[in-house]
Amino acid sequence: ENPTHIIACVGGGSNAAGGFYHYLENEEVNLIGVEAAGKGIDCEETAATLVCGREGIIHGSYTMLMQNDDGQIKEPYSISAGLDYPGIGPLHAFLHESGRARYLHASDREALEAALELTRLEGIIPALESAHALAALQKIKFSPNDVVVVILSGRGDKDMEAYLEYLGYKS
Question: Which CATH number is 93's domain given?
Answer: 3.40.50.1100
What pLDDT, on a 0 to 100 scale, did the predictor assign at position 48? 96
* Tally of structural domains, the chain: 1
Which structural domain range is residue 113 located in?
5-166
Residue 147 domain-assigned (yes or no): yes
Reading the chain (171 residues) residue by residue, the pLDDT tens digits are 899 999 999 999 999 999 999 999 999 999 999 999 999 998 789 999 999 999 999 999 999 999 999 999 999 999 999 999 999 999 999 999 999 999 999 999 999 999 999 999 999 999 999 999 999 999 999 999 999 999 999 899 999 999 999 999 976
Distance of alpha carbon 8 from alpha carbon 132, whole angstroms: 8
Residue 133 domain-assigned (yes or no): yes
Residue 14 domain-assigned (yes or no): yes
Residue 171 domain-assigned (yes or no): no
Main-chain phi, psi angles of 92, to 5 degrees: -70, -35
What pLDDT, on a 0 to 100 scale, did the predictor assign at position 171? 62
What number of other Cβ atoms are within 10 A of residue 158's Cβ?
13
Residue 150 domain-assigned (yes or no): yes
Residue 61 domain-assigned (yes or no): yes
**Positive/negative CA dihedral, 105, 58, 150, 20:** positive
Residue 29 domain-assigned (yes or no): yes
pTM of the model: 0.95
Assign 3-class secondary structure to the chain: CCCCEEEEECCCCHHHHHHHHHHCCCCCCEEEEEEEEECCCCCCCCCCHHHHCEEEEECCEEEEECECCCCCECCCCCCCHHHCCCECCHHHHHHHHHCCEEEEEEEHHHHHHHHHHHHHHHCCCCCHHHHHHHHHHHCCCCCCCCCEEECCCCCHHHHHHHHHHHCCCCC
